Structure 1
Amino acid sequence: MSESEEADKQDSALAAALPTSEPAPQGSALEVFVAFSKLGLTSFGGPVAHLGYFRTEFVERRAWLDDRSYSDLVALCQFLPGPASSQVGIALGLGRAGWLGAFCAWVGFTLPSAAALILFALGVTQWAALAQSGAVHGLKVVAVAIVAQAVWGMAKTLCADRLRAGVAIVAALFMLAVPSAMGQVGAIVAGGIAGRWAVQLGHLPVAEHRDYGISKRTGAAMLLKFGLLLVLLPVLAAAVRLPALSAISSFYQSGALVFGGGHVVLPLLQASVVPTGLVTNDAFLAGYGAAQAVPGPLFTFAAYLGAVMTGTLGGWVGGLTLLVAIFVPAFLMVAGALPFWEPLRQRDGVQRAMAGVNAAVVGVLAAALYDPVWTSAIHSRADFGLALAAFGLLVYGRQSPVLVVALAAAAGWMLAL
């Protein structure tokens, strides 16, 4: 063997021994669907718990990717608007079985809770007495405790200094003064501007990013589609003036502009469907309480709203239509951002802006805690006592949200008697 051949052989052996950033071997879409369906049926506890389930299943048990790649993916999806746990699932499916795998991951993780909420909506629609029952009132009361818990936890994490706490307070005051979808967007944008120029953060260390098989050209096309739909859907809805198209546009905007997790979508959706008369405020809050009792992503609340709507939407068709509308931005954003993520997250200005956005999100959610959640649910001392007890069980008792929701519904039923 010649010296050059020997050198080539040594180089090949060295390359084989080095860690690689390429994705795991491609699996089947069916494999992805089965894995995520199991999680969709059992993943209670919200997005943080979902990410823990994902790590156990796909890093430790199935070894679809390593810990470093998983952590990097979680960082990306926390950075993007939309449902973080669903976006992580979509990216995992994409890396395992391509575009069909991404779709199967979303369907498997989302469909169980969406189907349960649509069935609940059909029950509320068919039996009017159900919407006025004590059990449903208990669901509205427990929503107070759940949103309060979200504000409490997010404030401790995202408002770590006086400046960001101030941004949150100003955002809440602004939302109370301008209670509309545009007011929410304005508060978030202002928070990003304040963070960009005032927040001080340390620089992120450089980390190698895993290749998900998406070119920068494909990623750019996805981001362009995301932006075009965000701009053109409201214009088209205003021109055509169809309630169904307006609802689709509003739900797409909600999915595209929400930072901070599923709870933050509450004020955006409420401003979209309650003032227009598509959904009553009582039905809205009852569904939000019920959404806490099902596994999977909280964004499936959109399926309930679509199913309970009056007019051209409603039923299974309306539920599935608005479910797709609120999740399309998550698909486009995560697929579009993956090729550009590492250079973007290294920019100090982007990190500071996102810190300001996250602080403003806390303020937006705090304002929603008062109106519509508190004002629509707390009408007596008994209501306040039930909400306080539920909050204590969630925050200090560390009980499962499913158990707390069930207890609140039962307590509401007994109080009505």
Structure 2
Amino acid sequence: MDKKVNIESLLEILLVSTKLGLTSFGGPIAHLGYFHEEYIRRRKWMDERSYADLVALCQFLPGPASSQIGIGIGVMRAGVLGGILAFIGFTLPSVIALIIFALILQGLNITDASWIHGLKLVAVAIVAHAIIGMAEKLTPDNPRKTIALFALIGTLLWQTAYTQVAVILLAGIIGFLIYKEHNEEKIKKSSFPISKTFASFCLILFFGLLIFLPILREITSFGWIAMFDSFYRAGSLVFGGGHVVLPLLEREFVPTGLLSKEAFLAGYGATQAVPGPLFTFAAYLGTIMSGWQGGLIATTAVFLPAFLLIFGTLPFWDTLRKNNKIKGALMGVNAAVVGILISAFYNPIWTSSILAPIDFAFATILFSMLVFWKLPPWLIVLTGAIGGIILEIFI
């Protein structure tokens, strides 16, 4: 009977994550909104506090935060296999789309397509909804509102990946000092079907590959190993999500002549046009350099660190977040995440989307469809794309 329930849970995870993989436009910040709407509000796979803490944990880790959050939710739902299926469902649609772009449409410039602008307006509605919901839960008192405010100001004025990490660390310290004696409601116990032995192995493997892949690259001079090393390092050392990994990959491949600047920019446009994580840009780059096999290897390499880090930290996370002092630090971090979300909502989401009054008007319609009329996200995405085309024609 358990086996049947398990298979049903795994199938459900794959179907729901695939739906998100087909409809989650707008980049990593918007993905948090889609996840919150689908996994937390609609299906209640996690409670609000656990989701907020998982977001905080993944903000600490390098790599694609939204993918790690999706993997973490899958793990909590149905173990390691659940995490893998949640990742496959969320990631595979954009991987397939970008490999096809690389093989067939390399010369197509779609960065200014009107329907893409409509999808950016969808992201405005989704992220606004996520911010409102998270702010109510995570900044209920003045100290946490103040932490969120300074996190907003800091990440808005100094927009680097290191600023975000520094803000999160500082918020954790402040939260620890303010709330270390704070007694809140009991946190619901989370289930992690991962042993600490397996988790430790994942962390050792993460650091081992990071150290030894460059050495193996020099010793063997195999092209596949060199490619795997480049993408693995990109996935291991990037803080701040997909937008940060793009320039890093450009420096890795364009100056060396492995990829032309024109091909890189065409792929960048394609990546913005597809749903799912921005790290799937690796699928496009790998395909351009070494065919579809290269696309699959590059995708595996860039996402492998995300798996190793989330599998390696989740079993220890539940113990840590129940400690009163650690709980206080997480309260500070969660408040900072709200400020970071608002900062990202302004730039790049608002500044690249709301270019005229008509854009704002259309974004409010999309927001109302989501929040007040409770329409499904896929319908809002479709409305956004069609609306973007209509705006281009009549405005």
Q: TM-score, normalised by structure 2?
A: 0.70
Deviation at residue 162 of structure 1 after TM alignment: 1.0
Q: Tell me how far apart the structure 1 counterparts of residues 285 and 360 of structure 2 sit (CA, whole Å).
A: 29
User: Aligned with 2:355: secondary structure?
Assistant: coil
Aligned to 2:330: 354
Aligned to 2:236: 252
**Residues 277 and 387 from structure 1, CA distance in 2 versus in 1: closer, same or farther, beyond 3 angstroms?**
farther
Q: Tell me how far apart the structure 1 counterparts of residues 333 and 198 of structure 2 sit (CA, whole Å).
A: 27
1:123-138 equivalence runs, <5 A: 123=101, 125-126=105-106, 128-138=108-118
Check the 8 A contact 1:79/1:354 in 2, yes or no: yes
1:259-408 equivalence runs, <5 A: 268-274=241-247, 287=271, 290-291=274-275, 300-303=277-280, 305-309=281-285, 312=289, 317-318=294-295, 321-322=298-299, 325-326=302-303, 328-338=305-315, 340=316, 343-408=319-384
- Paired letter, 2:86: F
Root mean square deviation of aligned Cα = 4.3
Deviations 1:114-149 (Å, cap 9, x if unpaired)?
232234444495462543221112112222222222
Residue in structure 2 matching 1:152, options 119, 132, 135: 132
Residue 412 in 1 paired to residue 392 in 2? no
Q: Tell me how far apart the structure 1 counterparts of residues 336 and 192 of structure 2 sit (CA, whole Å).
A: 33
- Paired letter, 1:50: Y
Aligned to 2:15: 38
- Paired letter, 2:71: S
**Residues 395 and 245 from structure 1, CA distance in 2 versus in 1: closer, same or farther, beyond 3 angstroms?**
farther
Check the 8 A contact 1:142/1:408 in 2, yes or no: yes
Q: Tell me how far apart the structure 2 counterparts of residues 376 and 74 of structure 1 sit (CA, whole Å).
A: 28
Check the 8 A contact 1:195/1:356 in 2, yes or no: yes
User: Aligned with 2:241: secondary structure?
Assistant: helix
User: Aligned with 1:171: secondary structure?
Assistant: helix
**Residues 287 and 403 from structure 1, CA distance in 2 versus in 1: closer, same or farther, beyond 3 angstroms?**
farther
Aligned to 1:294: none
- Paired letter, 2:94: L
Aligned to 1:198: 178
**Residues 106 and 39 from structure 1, CA distance in 2 versus in 1: closer, same or farther, beyond 3 angstroms?**
same
Residue 49 in 1 paired to residue 29 in 2? no
Check the 8 A contact 1:139/1:285 in 2, yes or no: no
**Residues 115 and 321 from structure 1, CA distance in 2 versus in 1: closer, same or farther, beyond 3 angstroms?**
same
User: Aligned with 1:87: secondary structure?
Assistant: helix
Residue 141 in 1 paired to residue 121 in 2? yes
Deviation at residue 163 of structure 1 after TM alignment: 0.9
Deviations 1:241-293 (Å, cap 9, x if unpaired)?
x8985654343355xx6xxxxxxxxx5321331587589899869856752xx
Deviation at residue 179 of structure 1 after TM alignment: 0.7
Q: Tell me how far apart the structure 2 counterparts of residues 30 and 53 of structure 1 sit (CA, whole Å).
A: 21
- Paired letter, 1:89: G
**Residues 381 and 335 from structure 1, CA distance in 2 versus in 1: closer, same or farther, beyond 3 angstroms?**
same
- Unpaired runs of at least 5, structure 1: 1-23, 57-66, 95-101, 258-266, 292-297
Aligned to 1:162: 142
Q: Tell me how far apart the structure 2 counterparts of residues 246 and 410 of structure 1 sit (CA, whole Å).
A: 38
Check the 8 A contact 1:145/1:388 in 2, yes or no: yes
Residue 180 in 1 paired to residue 160 in 2? yes
- Paired letter, 2:348: P
Stretch of structure 1 that moved more, 273-282 or 163-172:
273-282
**Residues 384 and 207 from structure 1, CA distance in 2 versus in 1: closer, same or farther, beyond 3 angstroms?**
closer
**Residues 276 and 118 from structure 1, CA distance in 2 versus in 1: closer, same or farther, beyond 3 angstroms?**
closer
Deviation at residue 316 of structure 1 after TM alignment: 7.3
- Unpaired runs of at least 5, structure 2: 24-33, 59-64, 252-262
Percent sequence identity over aligned pairs: 22
Residue 87 in 1 paired to residue 60 in 2? no
**Residues 50 and 288 from structure 1, CA distance in 2 versus in 1: closer, same or farther, beyond 3 angstroms?**
farther
Q: Tell me how far apart the structure 2 counterparts of residues 348 and 369 of structure 1 sit (CA, whole Å).
A: 31
User: Aligned with 1:366: secondary structure?
Assistant: helix
User: Aligned with 1:166: secondary structure?
Assistant: helix
Residue in structure 2 matching 1:222, options 184, 202, 205: 202
User: Aligned with 1:408: secondary structure?
Assistant: helix
Q: How many pairs does the alignment contain?
A: 349
Check the 8 A contact 1:140/1:289 in 2, yes or no: no
Check the 8 A contact 1:222/1:332 in 2, yes or no: yes
Deviation at residue 309 of structure 1 after TM alignment: 4.8
